[in-house]
Amino acid sequence: MVTGGGGFIGSHVADSLLAQGARVTVFDNFSTGRREFVPRDDRLRLVEADLLDQKKLDLEMRGVDFVFHMAANADIKDNLKEPRKCIDQNIVATQNVLEAMRAAGAREIAFASTGSVYGESAILPTPEDAPFPVQTSIYATSKVAAEGLLTSYALGFDFRAWIFRFVSLLGPRYTHGHVYDFWRKLRRDPSRLEVLGNGQQQKSYLHVGDCVAAMMTAIDKSRGAIQIYNLGHTDWLKVDDSVKIIVRAMDVSPQIVYTGGERGWVGDSPRILLDTTRITSLGWKPTKSIEESVVETLAFLEAHPAVERRD
């Protein structure tokens, strides 16, 4: 089962599983996922439902042997606007998935966590065993809680859990994040671009294809009860440099206006670079540069303008 299989990452996971010969159940409420991202395949069963519907989830979990739990409220930037959303969609929903698995006898789960769990780490690149972080957003808090549920179930109920702490991802089917925001703003007004913060935030990004390959490598090669991996690029990119790439690719010359401050929003970590020694030691490495990923993302957005949200 792929929860959030209609989403950016989940749909690529579904693609990969089908390519490996698996039968796949996609469970998605399409609150942010998109029907057109779900692979069309005889071996794929699509369930349109909410993870908060435990009964439906229990029913659909029967016969499942591995869960990729990718469904989440992934909107870190606006997490303070609806503080309960992350609790329900990221903590309670994860608990529901684990309970459904327990009832159905499914015991293996891969989970999309986030590099944001490190808060504003003083150590860069940040390793998996960095100092106990202070959480700076309800979003990251909810992911830490979901991680803890997985590890508790691993110890208490003999689950096997793969926890992946991602940097921001880029690539086809990308529908939110700073590249999307800049693209949308520039489509509406190519003469002016508002940048949150001072443009100096510097973060690592990873192509979604590289990310899925990393997950599959980890699942293939590590079999302990609890595995935690940072997934990111060895490189990172300043917002200002990102703007340059986007402006060039879109062939526009906007005036750049900064909202100011070190952070793009409350709880933003201005510098994100993860130590990926643990995953690279398994033989994986990124195949695409961050610049290539940004350009490819823009090409996707240009080719699929319908992904633009109406809000």
Binding site for its own copies (CB under 8 A): 79-80, 83-84, 87, 91-92, 95, 98-99, 117-118, 128-138, 140-142, 144-145, 147-149, 151-152, 155-157, 226, 228, 266-267
Tell me the DSSP string of 29-64: --SS--GGGSPP-TTEEEEE--TT-HHHHHHHHTT-
Amino acid at 243: V
Residue closer to its own copies, measured from CB, 134 or 306: 134
CA end-to-end span of the chain: 30
Asked if residue 6 lies in contact with residue 172, where contact means CB atoms within 8 angstroms, the answer is no
For the CB of residue 267, give the shortest distance to its own copies in the complex, in Å.
6
Alpha-carbon span 256 to 254, nearest angstrom: 6
In a 13 Å sphere around the CA of 196, the CA atoms on its Cβ side amount to: 17
Tell me the DSSP string of 69-111: E-------TTTTTSHHHHIIIIIIHHHHHHHHHHHHT--EEEE
Query: Is the peptide bond preceding residue 172 cis, with omega within 30 degrees of 0?
Result: no
Residue closer to its own copies, measured from CB, 25 or 230: 230
Residue closer to its own copies, measured from CB, 44 or 93: 93
For the CB of residue 120, give the shortest distance to its own copies in the complex, in Å.
10
For the CB of residue 44, give the shortest distance to its own copies in the complex, in Å.
30
For the CB of residue 159, give the shortest distance to its own copies in the complex, in Å.
12
Residue closer to its own copies, measured from CB, 77 or 173: 77
Residue closer to its own copies, measured from CB, 106 or 298: 106
For the CB of residue 237, give the shortest distance to its own copies in the complex, in Å.
25
